[in-house]
Amino acid sequence: MAMNNENLSPQALRTKQDFKKAFTELINEKGYSHVTVTDIVQRAAKLSNDIFITIERIEEKQWSIYLQA
């Protein structure tokens, strides 16, 4: 059963995209037969964490600018 992306929250859609990107990158790096589920989950988690860190830094800068005003 295919899931329709229209029914996904933005966070779920982002997670799905992270898993697809991780899977594709790992296949290109290691080859299909050498990719494990653990590899995919770890890579996807890193992708999500990078996004979170970026957003966190932007929010810190916005608060910093707000507090200086």
Q: What pLDDT score does 33 carry?
A: 94
As a whole-number percent, the residues of the chain with pLDDT over 70 amount to: 65
pTM, whole model, 2 decimals?
0.63
Overall average pLDDT of the 31-53 stretch: 82
Distances (CA, A) of 5 to 1, 12, 13, 20, 48: 13, 9, 7, 14, 18
Q: Enter the tokens of residue 33.
A: 């037969």
Query: 């991780």: which residue's tokens?
Result: 22
Q: Is the pLDDT of residue 52 over 60?
A: no
Q: Is the pLDDT of residue 56 over 70?
A: no
Q: Is the pLDDT of residue 25 over 90?
A: yes
Distances (CA, A) of 31 to 16, 23, 36, 42, 43: 21, 10, 11, 17, 15
